[in-house]
Amino acid sequence: MTARRAAARALANVALVKYFGKRDPLLNLPAAGSLSVALEPLETVTEIAFDEDLQGDAVSLGGAPADPAFAARTTAFLDIVRGLAGRATFARVTTRNGFPTGAGLASSASGFAALAMAAAEALGVELTEPELSALARRGSGSAARSIPGGIAVWMAGTLADGTDSFARAIAGPRDFDLRIVVGVTDPGPKAVGSTVAMERTRTTSPYYASWIETARADLVDAIAAVEARDLERLGEIAERNALAMHGAALAARPGLAFWNGATVDALHSIRALRAEGSLAFFTCDAGPQPKALCSPADEDTVAARLAAVPGVRSIIRCRPGAGAALVACP
């Protein structure tokens, strides 16, 4: 049989209202909804070729064979897609991140969104965008939001099978002109993965229940802020939401401290800029890289100030980007 091939491109995203807590860890169903911005140019391009001559999946990342953990996660995800297609054929998977590898930037969102789209296409599984988003969610929760791209809302849903837990765009990439400046402080891999961190926070943090309540209320406010194209309001919600998430994680036992000194200095720098009149707000995921949400007019100032924080090794300027899309196979 000739190999069935497809390739897809997807962007990473940063949550302005964070997903941090699962109602079902197996299906990656969140306890609360979240809201994100797709980050152009932080892309993953994944090519997949199903081939009956293969005895197992062959996974490469950035031009080299992927490590066993990455390969196992890819195979576990492909098993879900093979199940939908009613096929057992293995695949050759070639993934490249278009941002510096080892920059400590989460690539699971862009990676599983691109993989979901390419694998479904190659196996002839026809899915609507919500179904594709729910499929990508199985690989990594945040990947659900990289399918629609733009400014996306991923609803928690209430169904046990997760079919109502997918993301949809509430604004396209050009509908709300904003910028995200990412500071890279630590290129190393995360000490604690997001699933372990979320489960520890859910089961041991005395602040978990209030964090989830806070996130639910923040999501309602953030959607209204996006609809009103109100960057100041959206930024205030994003900053307080990130701090609340980290507060709940810090209170877990043992506490999860994702930040390093440069992350804290970046928070203060961004707040100082705001006091000086810039529209700039801090956010940070389950790692040490600070991110500033800002207006296009303030982007240069924010980038320069963030780059000047001791311990910030590089910065990457991002803008809202598109959803996942098929691309020509190389």
Among 4, 20, 23, 156, binds ligand PMV (CB under 6 A): 20
Residues 6+ apart with CB under 8 A from 292: 180, 181, 183, 266, 270, 280, 281, 282, 283, 302, 306
Choose the stretch contacting ligand PMV; rule: CB under 6 A; options: 15-23, 85-93, 166-174, 224-232.
Answer: 15-23
* CA angle, residues 7, 9, 14, in degrees to nearest 5: 150
Q: φ and ψ at 94, to 5 degrees?
A: -120, 115
Site string for ligand PMV, 189-218 (x = CB under 6 A): -----xx-----------------------
Among 19, 77, 176, 208, binds ligand PMV (CB under 6 A): 19
CB of 178 to ligand PMV, least distance (A): 17
Q: Assign 3-class secondary structure to 93-146.
A: EEEEECCCCCCCCCCHHHHHHHHHHHHHHHCCCCCCHHHHHHHHHHHCCCHHHH
Q: Does 180 bind ligand PMV (CB under 6 A)?
A: no
Please list every residue from 31 through 70 that binds ligand PMV, using CB under 6 A.
34
| Angle, helices 261-275/299-307, rounded to nearest 10 degrees | 140
Choose the stretch contacting ligand PMV; rule: CB under 6 A; options: 13-21, 65-73, 169-177, 224-232.
Answer: 13-21
Q: What is the distance between the alpha carbons of residues 6 and 120, in angstroms, rounded to a whole number?
A: 9
Q: For residue 158, count other CB atoms closer than 10 A to its CB.
A: 9
User: Would you state the structure tokens that stand for residue 316, as one six-digit string?
Assistant: 């990457």
**What residues form DSSP beta bridges with 129?**
none
CB of 20 to ligand PMV, least distance (A): 5
Choose the stretch contacting ligand PMV; rule: CB under 6 A; options: 17-25, 165-173, 265-273, 293-301.
Answer: 17-25
Q: What is the distance between the alpha carbons of residues 185 and 311, in angstroms, rounded to a whole number?
A: 6
Please list every residue from 248 through 267 that binds ligand PMV, using CB under 6 A.
none
The bridge status of strand 290-294 relative to strand 29-30 is unpaired
CB of 270 to ligand PMV, least distance (A): 18
Q: φ and ψ at 152, to 5 degrees?
A: -115, 145
CB of 19 to ligand PMV, least distance (A): 3
Please list every residue from 113 through 152 that binds ligand PMV, using CB under 6 A.
140-142
Closer CB to ligand PMV, 6 or 141, in the complex: 141
Q: What is the CA radius of gyration of the chain?
A: 19
Choose the stretch contacting ligand PMV; rule: CB under 6 A; options: 102-110, 159-167, 170-178, 204-212.
Answer: 102-110
- The closest alpha carbon to 123, from 53, 50, 31, 30, belongs to 50
User: Would you state the structure tokens that stand for residue 95, as one six-digit string?
Assistant: 């993934």
CB of 67 to ligand PMV, least distance (A): 17
Q: Does 82 bind ligand PMV (CB under 6 A)?
A: no
CB of 194 to ligand PMV, least distance (A): 4
Would you tell me which residues interact with ligand PMV (CB under 6 A)?
Answer: 15, 18-20, 34, 106, 108-109, 140-142, 194-195, 285-286
